[in-house]
Amino acid sequence: MKFLFKWLFRLLLLAVVLAVILVLSLDYILRVVMQHNIRSQTGMEAQIGKFHLGLIEPVVTIQNLKLHNPPDFGGTPFLNIPEIHVEYDRAALLNNQLHITLLRFNLDELDIVKNEAGRTNIFSLGLAMPTKESVAKGKDLAGFKKKTGLDFKGIEVLNVSVGTAKFIDLKDPRNNRTQTIGIENCVIKNVKTPADLAGLAVLVILRGGDVFNPIVAPTGWR
């Protein structure tokens, strides 16, 4: 009996140690998984400096996220995001609803790359601007639910900062240019559809000068 008690105690102690290690390693494991998923789904290399998922508080924080374009765009930089901070409604999430109370998004640099075949990375990744028709018919939100299984209920407070934008022409570097956007802590409340971001999009495009000319498609916001 004493022998059995000792082994049960040791197993319990081992379980506690493993649980502690798992909790301490959870952020690291999720960071590695996220980097792998980004690469498998987009073909882009991803580097995440820090990932934190709150176990008690409903918070997700990503710091120093850097994405690099696929080989057909020379492996050039694509996005440099110092911070994505999300606070969400846990009760809503349990009901398959995504209700974000605060989203802080800091985009330090966006690189638009035109490869030697004349293709632009934004369009190749399917990131073209939403059209008025798709918003009016709710296609964007329907697509979100199909991919995630969640009903998007909106963002109460969105805080956006945008640093610089670059255009890189791999075929003719003489066309390369850099533009400072310089948006700091632009706060938008009650975001429920892409239409609620139209004002921010216009501001970014206006400050971006001719850097954004290759991605302002005829079917975009007009």
Q: Is there a domain that residue 179 lies in?
A: yes
Q: From CA 191, how far away is CA 154, in angstroms rounded?
A: 5
* Sheet of 77-88, strand order: 45-53, 59-68, 77-88, 97-114, 151-169, 177-191
- Confidence band, pLDDT 50/70/90 cuts, at residue 66: very high
Q: Is there a domain that residue 2 lies in?
A: no
Residue with the two structure tokens 């073909």: 43
Q: Is there a domain that residue 38 lies in?
A: no
Q: Is there a domain that residue 16 lies in?
A: no
Q: Is the pLDDT of residue 163 over 90?
A: yes
Q: From CA 92, how far away is CA 4, in angstroms rounded?
A: 46
Q: Is there a domain that residue 121 lies in?
A: yes
pLDDT at 134: 46
Q: Is there a domain that residue 19 lies in?
A: no
Who's near 20: CB < 8 A, 6+ residues apart?
none
Q: Is there a domain that residue 35 lies in?
A: no
Q: From CA 119, how far away is CA 131, in angstroms rounded?
A: 21
Range of the domain at 134: 45-215
Number of independent structural domains in the chain: 1
DSSP-H helix ranges across the chain: 2-42, 90-94, 121-124, 132-136, 139-148, 198-207
Q: One-letter amino acid identity for 204?
A: V
Q: Is there a domain that residue 95 lies in?
A: yes
Q: Which residue has the higher pLDDT, 215 or 77?
A: 77
Q: 32-63, pLDDT tens digit by residue?
A: 989 999 888 888 899 999 999 988 899 999 99
Q: From CA 174, how far away is CA 193, in angstroms rounded?
A: 38
Q: 126-149, pLDDT tens digit by residue?
A: 654 444 454 444 455 666 777 778
pLDDT at 138: 46
pTM of the model: 0.81
Q: From CA 55, how far away is CA 127, in angstroms rounded?
A: 32
Q: 90-109, pLDDT tens digit by residue?
A: 999 999 999 999 999 999 99
